[in-house]
Amino acid sequence: MRRLMAAVTFGCCLVIAGQPEGLAQGPDYIKLKALLPPSHGAQACFVRTYDADHLKRHPKQKVTELVLFLRYITLSGEDATLISTENGGTEKQYFRYDFTLAAKTKEHDRTLYASGDCASAEGIGCGVECDGGGIEIEPIAGKDDTILVRLERIRMTLGCGEGGEVELEGGEDDKVFKLTKAPRPLCDSMQKNADKPLQ
C-alpha cells in the first residue's frame, strides 16, 4: 500500500511538472553507485548523535540525532520505471535508490521520518515527493565511512500513516551534518519504526 500511494503521488507530481505521466527523466547514477555499489539488497546506514557538549557549543542547533538509510532496490519488469533517453526515446530502468531519514530534534518529543528516492548528477540528491524538499549527500574523499548531509528543507512526518507533517529546515547550525557508517541493524530497526503503522 505504501508503494502504491507513492506511485500515485509521484504520477500526480509528474503531470503537474509538465511531464507525461509515468515518464521520468533518466538520471546519472555514477556517484550513487560509487557510494553504494549496486547489488541485490545493497544497503548503507549512516548516523550521528550529538552529545550535550556539542549542543552546548551550538545552541541554535535543533537536530540532536540523524539516521540515514540508503538502499539499492532491484525492480521487476512490472515495477520498472520508464525513463527518457538522450535520443528522445524511452527505456525501462530496473532499479532505484531510495532513502529513509530519521531525525530527533529539540522541538519534538517524537522521532521525525522522511522517505523518497535518490539520484545523482552533479551531486547526490534525495527528495520527498511533490515539493517535499530533500537532502544532498556528499561523500568525503578518502573516507568511505563518512558523508556530509546538507539540508535546506525537508518535509517529515511522525511515521508512515501518522500525519502531522513537519518542515525541518536548515537553520544556522542545522545546514551540514557529518554522519558515519553504522551497523545495519540500527537502520533496520529505524525502518521498522517508520513503517510501524502499516504492520
Helices (H), the chain: 2-16, 30-35, 52-57, 184-195
Quote the pTM value.
0.81
Distance between CA atoms of residues 99 and 194, nearest Å = 12
Antiparallel, parallel or unpaired: β 133-140 and 166-169: unpaired
Per-residue pLDDT of the chain (199 residues; tens, 9 = 90+): 333 333 333 333 433 333 344 455 566 789 999 999 999 999 999 999 999 999 999 999 999 999 999 999 999 988 888 888 888 889 898 999 999 999 999 998 889 999 999 998 889 999 999 899 999 999 998 888 999 999 999 999 876 555 578 999 998 889 999 999 999 888 988 888 887 643 2
Question: Could you tell me the end-to-end alpha-carbon distance of the chain, in angstroms, rounded to an integer?
Answer: 11
pLDDT of residue 47: 96
Neighbouring residues of 8: CB distance < 8 A, sequence distance ≥ 6 = none
pLDDT of residue 6: 37
Cβ count within 10 A of residue 23: 14
Cβ count within 10 A of residue 155: 19
173 burial class (0-12, 13-18, 19+ CB within 10 angstroms)?
Answer: middle
Distance between CA atoms of residues 88 and 108, nearest Å = 47
67 burial class (0-12, 13-18, 19+ CB within 10 angstroms)?
Answer: buried
Helices (H), 50-177: 52-57
pLDDT of residue 19: 38
39-73+95-198 is classed in which CATH architecture?
Beta Barrel (2.40)
